[in-house]
Amino acid sequence: MGLKVKKAELEGIYVDINQLPAGNLPEIALTGRSNVGKSSLINKICNRKKLAKSSSTPGKTRTINYYLINDQWFMVDLPGYGYARVSREEKSRWKKMIEAYLSQREQLRGVIQLLDIRHEPGENDILMKDWLLHLQIPVLIVATKADKLSRGARMKNMAVIRKTLDLPDMPLVFSAHTGEGVEELKAALAELLSP
């Protein structure tokens, strides 16, 4: 039985790890390169068109954005990584913020790591996955933008993602455009959130 989202709201936007919400509500974080479709995924899962604002400028999410779902748990949108047009200091600040969040946040139940199905995973994707494994955080790999590829190309690219990231299973395929993978993703979220 997948998760039903009855209520979703932007709880807060944080630039400092020390300001994050107190309390014990479980959190599921989203990571991925800039422009991988995190906002679209949040909107699709919550069935709200403009809950998370996607930007035409990649790398715009420089904050940790908290979305309160059903008053019971948070979906946490972490800054996208790997965007070139940002100063080295800024990049290093984001990296520290993401690392501090992932390694210190006790409410974190799991991470959804997004990859664009059209591209081979990059160095940042590999580092992120290995680091989550090292921290023993449950991670679900989701290949986004599935509607942009034919079936044949999709199978080929999925195999590349699986091999590059050394995954036991194929990543979950998702399209915010067609809704493919939404139910599977909700089922996975329900599992991560179950005590």
Tell me the pTM: 0.92
Give whole-number Cα distances, 179 to 128, 129, 165, in Å.
26, 25, 25
Rounded-to-integer distance, Cα 182 and Cα 93, Å: 33
- Residue 90 pLDDT: 77
What is the DSSP code (8-state) at residue 106? T
> Distance from CA of residue 142 to its chain's centroid?
8
Q: Strand 8-14 relative to strand 64-69: parallel, antiparallel, unpaired? A: antiparallel
Q: How far is residue 142's CA from residue 175's CA, in Å, rounded to a whole number?
A: 10
Query: DSSP string spanning 111-148?
Result: EEEEEETTS---HHHHHHHHHHHHTT--EEEEEE-GGG
What is the C-alpha to C-alpha distance for residues 14 and 62, in angstroms, rounded to an integer? 9
Q: What is the pLDDT of residues 60-91, one digit of tens each?
A: 557 899 999 999 999 999 988 866 667 788 77
Residue of 192, 149, 195 whose CA lies nearest to 28: 192
Tokens 């067609």 sit at which residue?
A: 178
Query: pLDDT at position 10, please?
Result: 95
CA distances from 11 to 60, 67, 117 (A): 19, 5, 30
Per-residue pLDDT, 83: 65
- pLDDT tens per residue, range 102-143: 999 999 999 999 999 999 999 999 999 999 999 999 999 999
Q: What is the per-residue pLDDT across 147-192, written as a single tens digit (0 to 9) for each?
A: 999 999 999 999 999 999 999 999 999 999 999 999 999 999 999 9
pLDDT at position 9: 95
d(CA 163, CA 85): 29
Q: Give CA–CA dist 105/90, Å, rounded.
A: 22
What per-residue confidence (pLDDT) applies to 95?
A: 82
| pLDDT score for 35 | 86
May I ask the CATH class of domain 8-193? alpha beta
